[in-house]
């Protein structure tokens, strides 16, 4: 039986599309039971509707505190009864209670090789620093922003003529391969997280699985 996966988005939903495509191709054994957005105009909602995936919009307006919004968000998420939560460009910081509710079964994609460049504007910061190596990371979500155990990373080379836009496009292409692959590790029982310990195929990961530049992701 396919695992029940809930996807949270805020924007275009390109990683959501990568899940939809991976399921159609037989590379991801999951059922996308819902897509939840904090932005009513997020294009990813249209992607979900085209794929007949139920959607929910929960904007932050009308809530008197972050805590009250988090409680509403948690209740909305629980209605989907997810076994796995995939944060695919969801641009809100989640509260501690919500994170604990889904501990060990919530994955996030981040556009840098963590622990480098947590937070926003990663491509700009990489270019400003003159780095020659960049990429993306998939990690389990904890209360620490972009600080949960990192499962896997995919690298790209930084070219001399790169801009934020060209670098972002290449990193996104790697995200679209890496995130469904890691999700499949989870739903197939290969990947587990207890506390800050991540295991893959029964072995504790002392460091992330790294896919070097141009290497195929499986």
Q: Is residue 134 flagged as an active site residue?
A: no
Any residues with CB less than 8 A from the CB of 158 and at least 6 apart, and which? 126, 127, 131, 132, 133, 134, 167
The mean pLDDT value for 28-35 works out to 98
CB 123 within 8 A of CB 168: yes
3-state secondary structure of 156: strand
Any residues with CB less than 8 A from the CB of 54 and at least 6 apart, and which? 33, 34, 35, 48, 80
Q: Which of 103, 102, 100, 122 is nearest to 111 (CA)?
A: 122
The answer on pLDDT for 85 being more than 80 is: yes
Per-residue pLDDT tens digits for 89-139? 999 999 999 999 999 999 999 999 999 999 999 999 999 999 999 999 999
Could you tell me the CA-to-CA distances from 77 to 58, 101, 162 in Å, in that order?
10, 10, 39
pLDDT of residue 87: 98
Q: Which part of the chain is CATH 3.40.50.170? A: 1-102, 110-218
The answer on pLDDT for 62 being more than 90 is: no
What integer best gives the mean pLDDT of the chain? 96
The mean pLDDT value for 1-15 works out to 95
Per-residue pLDDT tens digits for 193-203? 998 899 999 99
CB atoms within 10 A of CB 185: 19
The answer on pLDDT for 214 being more than 80 is: no
Report the CATH number of the 1-102 domain: 3.40.50.170
Residue count of the chain? 218
pLDDT of residue 216: 79
pLDDT of residue 213: 80
Q: Which of 110, 134, 139, 176 is catalytic?
A: 110
Any residues with CB less than 8 A from the CB of 76 and at least 6 apart, and which? 36, 56, 58
pLDDT of residue 207: 96
Look at the domain 110-218 and name its fold.
Rossmann fold (3.40.50)
């Amino acid at each position: 039986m396919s695992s029940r996966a809930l996807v949270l988005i805020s924007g275009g939903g390109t990683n959501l599309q990568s899940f939809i495509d991976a399921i159609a191709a037989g590379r991801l054994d999951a059922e996308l039971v819902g897509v939840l957005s904090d932005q009513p105009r997020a294009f990813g909602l249209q992607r979900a509707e085209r794929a007949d995936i139920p959607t929910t919009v929960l904007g932050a307006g009308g809530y008197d505190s972050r805590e009250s919004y988090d409680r509403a968000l948690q209740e909305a998420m629980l209605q989907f009864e997810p076994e796995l939560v995939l944060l695919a460009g969801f641009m809100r910081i989640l509260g501690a209670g919500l994170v604990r509710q889904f501990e060990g079964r919530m994955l996030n994609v981040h556009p840098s090789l963590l622990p480098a460049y947590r937070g926003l504007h990663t491509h700009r910061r990489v270019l400003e620093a003159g780095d020659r190596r960049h990429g993306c990371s998939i990690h389990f979500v904890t209360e620490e922003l972009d600080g949960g155990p990192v499962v896997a990373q995919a690298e790209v080379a930084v070219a001399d003529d790169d801009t934020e836009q060209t670098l972002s496009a290449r990193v996104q292409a790697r995200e679209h391969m890496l995130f469904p692959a890691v999700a499949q590790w989870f739903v197939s029982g290969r990947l587990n997280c207890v506390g800050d310990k991540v295991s893959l195929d029964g072995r504790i990961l002392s460091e992330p699985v790294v896919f070097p530049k141009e290497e195929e992701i499986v």
